[in-house]
Amino acid sequence: MNVRRSPLQYTDVFVNGIRCRALKESGAQLPLISQAVCDQLKPEVCGRIQLQGVVGDPIRAPLVNVCIKPCSEPDSVNIAEGIQVLCGVAPLASVSHDVILTSEVIEDLSQLPVASVCNVIVSADVMNVNEDECEDEMNDECYISVVDDDESKNV
């Protein structure tokens, strides 16, 4: 027997600033976020809904309002505006995605501008600059020692 399976399609998005992998689901009626993502975000619950999957019993799930933005590049943050989306919260523990998006949400996201900036995280208590190496304005190299609680690093 020949079984035809369609490949699943994914996209990366930011949900309230957290990078997530989203399944593009043309058959979904309501966007969903995983309970794990919801636990990180701690959004206000604005209602409840009965969710019915293809198989299994329906579950009563919270509804939360989140901001979703497209994500175009790895190691970057989209600083453009997103869209507010009402999502159900579901236990998506055994899948390879954190979010399920409807066709309508995917279409709305595709219309948004993306303004990606490099995401660099520097956590430091003290910064020491080696002035001898930075005196010459034409010098392209300047070594900054970042000292934090754990160790010293050169940036």
Residue 35 domain flag: yes
Question: How does pLDDT run across 77-126, given as a tens digit for each residue?
Answer: 777 789 999 999 999 877 889 999 999 999 999 998 877 677 566 665 55
How does residue 55 score in pLDDT terms, banded at 50, 70 and 90? confident
Residue 79 domain flag: yes
Q: In the 8-state DSSP scheme, what is residue 38?
A: H
In terms of domains, do 107 and 131 share one? Answer: no
Residue 1 domain flag: no
Q: Which domain holds residue 140?
A: 122-155
| CATH, residue 33 | 2.40.70.10
The arithmetic mean of pLDDT across residues 56-64, rounded, is 92
- What is d(CA 40, CA 26) in angstroms, rounded to the nearest whole number? 27
In sign, the C-alpha dihedral spanning 25, 30, 36, 41 is: positive
- Global pTM reads 0.70
H helix or E strand, kind and range, residue 35: helix 35-41
